[in-house]
Amino acid sequence: MRQRLPVRAATVVDDYERHLASERGLSEHTVRAYVGDVVSMLAFLHGLDGAGETGEAESDGADSGGTNSGEADPGDGRSAGAGSGEPGGPGEPGGLGGLDIGVLRAWLAQQRGEGHSRTTLARRAASARTFTAWAADRGLLAVDPGLRLAAPKAHRRLPGVLRQEQASDVMGASATGAQQEDPVALRDYALLEMLYATGMRVAELCAVDVDDADLDSRLVRVFGKGSKERMVPFGLPAERALRSWLDAGRGALVTASSGAALFLGARGGRIDQRTVRRVVHDAVESVPGAAGMGPHGLRHTAATHLLEGGADLRSVQELLGHATLSTTQLYTHVTVERLKAIHDRTHPRAQ
């Protein structure tokens, strides 16, 4: 669909993609989600067939507040504002002329009619608002129509987490495998301990360098979304696992291409996210009764166990690197649901 856009629209998308990746420092996954939504929106604007089709990758950066305040007929939306003389208008074919609130609402209405979920619609509305704000700031739009755009609130699903004893079993099984001092097993145990101890995102873990981890102070420097830096503590088990990896494992995998990366792949380069996801999935799957999950599941688990242990929301927000407290508050619902489940299962007067 991107290749079918008019030349000017495609150029705008290219510029926007560079802005997201270079100026805002968003992850590859988030950039891909935002750009896919914008391509769909511009394809709808220019009347291309299949304009409602985009990738379903979810972006953590999408702000999905509000409710849809109105709809418009797709045909009316595409023609609205076409003679406004805005940048990229009729005198500049293929630009952003005609992109107004009617088009945005009609685009979302079309996708709602195609059966997309409230979560997807909320994310795409957030993508549209982000794009139109950027376009208006760059002078590509005379006004920002996204300021008037609202969308259904996304249904926030409670994340699956491990129970504390299950998390302990996952770490114990990995520690047993690492006792043979196989380099890969030492690496896998260390990264599992670090993910659970710190609640880091998988991309953050992969980006950690050797010098970022202060083993004596048990602190690791993490670069989160937008290259925001934070210091995150970790416990004694993670420190021991890291020391074993650095002393007896990393040197066996290191090559000229390793650089300063803390965790390495089997060929010596910086470990990639796919490998970490496989390691976590396999480790969790080995524990009977544990829900299948990847690195993000361990992040959810770490946050939930911190709150269950008495940590306050603000501290957990800082540890996880959440931009807003509302994101962290999701975990309070997790702990409440777990408490209710325990009550229903154990209290003699629960039923």
Which tokens in the block code for residue 59? 């972006």
Is 196 a residue of the active site? Answer: no
For the chain, what is the radius of gyration of the CA atoms? 24
Is 296 a residue of the active site? Answer: yes
Which residue among the candidates 34, 189, 196, 331 is catalytic per the annotation? 331
Which residue among the candidates 78, 124, 187, 225 is catalytic per the annotation? 225
Under 8 Å between Cβ of 196 and 309: no
Which residue among the candidates 250, 299, 300, 305 is catalytic per the annotation? 299
Residue 290, helix vs strand vs coil: coil
The torsion angles phi and psi of 313, rounded to 5 degrees, stand at -60, -40
Is 32 a residue of the active site? Answer: no
Is 228 a residue of the active site? Answer: no
Is 250 a residue of the active site? Answer: no
| Residue-wise burial string across 7-25, b where 16 or more C-beta atoms lie within 10 A, e elsewhere | ebbbebbeebbebbbeebe
Under 8 Å between Cβ of 123 and 39: no
Residue 208, helix vs strand vs coil: coil
Is 305 a residue of the active site? Answer: no
Q: What's the order of all strands across the beta sheet hosting 229-233?
A: 213-214, 219-223, 229-233
Which residue among the candidates 201, 250, 300, 305 is catalytic per the annotation? 201
Backbone angle region of 212, left / alpha / beta, with phi > 0 → left and psi within -120 to 50 → alpha: alpha
Which tokens in the block code for residue 217? 């102070």
Annotated catalytic sites, by residue? 201, 225, 296, 299, 322, 331
